Chains A and B, each alone.
Chain A
Amino acid sequence: MTTLRFAVNVLPKDGILDPQGRAVEQSLGLLDVQGVSAVRVGRRIELTVEAPDELAARAIVERLAGDLFSNPLIEQASVEALGASSAAVGTAGAR
């Protein structure tokens, strides 16, 4: 078994209205900031997965990314491998 850490980054799909991003953008004037545009607000979920190998671990994360962490109708999710988990102490060779 291998224990790996992943991150799932979820953002509103391109072309989908992002009210939070718009609100953040509108606030920039209050900070006297210029030249910033196309702000998108999403969320990031980090998780540790134990599976037979990296491929299997990634498959679990991909499934969660589409079924639970994001709504594919309005959001896009990307999976990022963060390497061996710090929780993997004792599982030698996890990387």
Chain B
Amino acid sequence: MTVRIGVVVFPGSNRDIDAVNALEVAGAEPVRLWHEQASLDGVAAVVLPGGFAYGDYLRAGVIARFSPVMRGVTAFAADGGLVLGICNGFQVLAEARLVPGVLMRNRGLRFVAREIAILPERLDSPFTRSIDARRPLRMPVAHGEGCWYADETTADAVERDGQVLFRYARDDGSVAGGEEDRANPNGSLRAIAGVSNVAGNVAGLMPHPETAVEVVLGSDDGLGIIRSLVDSARERVAGHAPVEVGVR
């Protein structure tokens, strides 16, 4: 059964094409959702792609947060719907307070665009369940504001509640250090690269799994993340859909 997954397109999104491709590779049917529509067209999950929504003016993600489609996404998330924000999509989710923390200007002040590695913290979340093993996953980052930050209390709570999904990692699989460590490309607090909300159905990460889904692209380590989303969405649809069968 194909599962329909929405890819939100803001003015300035530029990785929506990659997200669409990745979802197709993972066996889903991608559906583009324009930022001006509040309806999500009945999709089973939503991806907020990378880019520079609304030019990243004021702060990355903040103007997008108030768009009609985010009203739909917020309601969808509140109902337990699966939402994955990648890079700029993560920034939008953070600004909308749908995931904890803030994405600040990279500590080194430079825009970073290179391949890095992240280590999945857990393999039992809707966004990591189909990853083959707890190993460093190689994929690109491309951002200027990706330094995850929260005050100590929030960061402690995020760790305690199992909301850390990914940390930047060194090639040997150890977790990256602070900003002086090249393995932590933006100086993120506690090397956190991706987090979820408390309920676990909304997640964001700065690296780009959607551009690392085929070996020909340099790495297919990102496919496990996309596949996790697709598998979780499929399960969710299967759990909800049969109710209507035969009603008419």
A68 lies within 8 A of B107 (CB): no
Known contacts A71-B95, A74-B149; is-contact A19 B104 (Cβ 8 Å): yes
B residues near A47, Cβ cutoff 8 Å: none
Judged by a CB distance under 8 angstroms, whether A30 is at the interface is: no
Identify the interface centre among B105, B109, B149, B150: most chain A CB within 10 Å of its CB: B105
Chain B interface residue count, Cβ-Cβ cutoff 8 angstroms = 18
Q: Is the C-beta of B38 less than 8 angstroms from some C-beta in chain A?
A: no
Count, A-B residue pairs, CB within 8 A: 30
Q: A68-B66, A74-B104 are in contact. Are A20 and B58 (CB under 8 A)?
A: no
- Residue B3 at the chain A interface, CB threshold 8 Å: no
B106 touching A19, Cβ below 8 Å: yes
With CB as the reference atom, state the residue of chain A lying closest to B97: A73
Q: Which residue of B lies closest to A74 (CB)?
A: B102
Instruction: Note all chain B residues with C-beta closer than 8 A to A68.
Output: 58, 62-63, 66
Chain A interface, number of residues (Cβ within 8 angstroms): 10
Q: Is the CB of A17 closer than 8 A to any CB of chain B?
A: yes
Is B59's CB within 8 Å of the partner chain A?
A: yes
User: Using Cβ atoms and an 8 Å threshold, which residues of chain A touch B151?
Assistant: 73
Q: Which residues of A contact B107 (CB under 8 A)?
A: 17, 19
Chain A interface (Cβ within 8 Å of chain B)? Answer: 16-17, 19-20, 23, 68-69, 71, 73-74
Q: Which 9 A-B pairs have the closest CB atoms?
A: A19-B105, A73-B102, A19-B109, A74-B102, A23-B109, A19-B107, A71-B102, A71-B59, A74-B104
